[in-house]
Amino acid sequence: ALVAAIDSPVPVAVVASGESITKVASAHPDAVAAIRAAVDAGRVELCSGPAADTPLDLATPEFALNSFTRGREAFCNLFNAPPASFARVAGGAIPLLPQLLAGSGIEGGIWTLFDGTPLPDVGGGMIRWQAGGAAIDLLAAAPLDARSARTVLALHETLGDALDREHVAAMLFAHYAGTASRWHALVRRIGRWTNLLGTFVTPRELARRTTGAGTTVSLEPDAFPPTLPRSAAATGDDLITAAISQ
C-alpha cells in the first residue's frame, strides 16, 4: 500500500516518526527502498519530527531535543538524508518547537496534527511561528480527508473559502497509505496536467514559495492544551471493574 501511495503523478509527502519508519524498514525493506528512490527522484518529501509521537509537553527540553536528534538519525540511516519538513501524527506541540526545528535546519512543515488533538487556533492558512528568536513557516490548514468522495465534491467550495479568507490559499490532503479514494486519484491526475485547481507541492516547496507571506504568530506557553493523564479505566487497570466482572 505504501509503495502504491507514493506512485503518484504529483509530489506527495510521507509523514512518519523515526520509530515508525524504522519498523516499516524492518518489516518491509522493499517499501523503504521504493521511498528512497522516490525521494532521490524528487517525487516524495519526507516529513517527521521527534523519534516518537509521544506527548512533547511531558518531556524535558533536553529529552525533546534528544528525541528530535534520534528521529533525524533514523531517517539519515534509512534514506541518507534527514526529514525535509516537520510534521507529526500525534504528540501535541510545545513553545520550544520553533527553536528545535530551526536548529535542525527545517525550512517548513505542517502545523496540524492528524489524530484530532487540538492545537491553539492560529486562523488557518500559512503561518510564521516565532518563538525564542527563531521562526518557522507552517501550513495550518485543517486536513481534508482524501478517503472521502465528499472532499472532492466540495472542492470548489473549499477553494473558494480559502481564496476569500487566506492570504495564501493552501489546502492539505491527508490519508493513510492505501486508503485514498479513486476520486482523489483523479484530482491528482488533473494536477499533473493543469493548474486549474492549483498546484500540488510538498510542505518545503510551499514554505519556499510563500516566504514572508504567512501570518506571524507568537503563542504564549499556556496556549497549548496539556496532555491529560490516562485514567485507570483507559489503561485497563480498573481493579473495581475487574473484580465485579469476576
128 neighbors 167 (Cβ within 8 angstroms): no
Sign for the CA dihedral angle at 200, 201, 207, 210 comes to negative
pLDDT of residue 93: 86
CA 226/CA 92 separation, integer angstroms: 8
pLDDT in tens, the chain (246 residues): 888 888 899 999 999 999 999 999 999 999 999 999 999 988 999 999 999 998 888 888 899 999 999 999 999 999 988 999 999 998 888 888 998 888 877 878 999 888 878 888 888 788 899 988 888 889 998 899 999 999 999 999 998 888 888 878 889 999 998 899 999 999 999 999 998 888 999 998 988 888 877 888 898 888 887 776 655 444 455 545 555 454
pLDDT of residue 123: 80
> pTM score, two decimals?
0.84
What DSSP character marks residue 123? -
pLDDT of residue 117: 81
Q: For the purposes of burial, counting CB atoms within 10 Å of the CB of 97, is it exposed (0-12), middle (13-18) or buried (19 or more)?
A: buried
Query: C-alpha distances in angstroms, 43 versus 13, 21, 157, 168?
Result: 9, 18, 28, 23
50 neighbors 92 (Cβ within 8 angstroms): no
Paired with 43 in beta bridges are none
pLDDT of residue 189: 93
119 neighbors 94 (Cβ within 8 angstroms): no
What three-state secondary structure class fits 48? strand
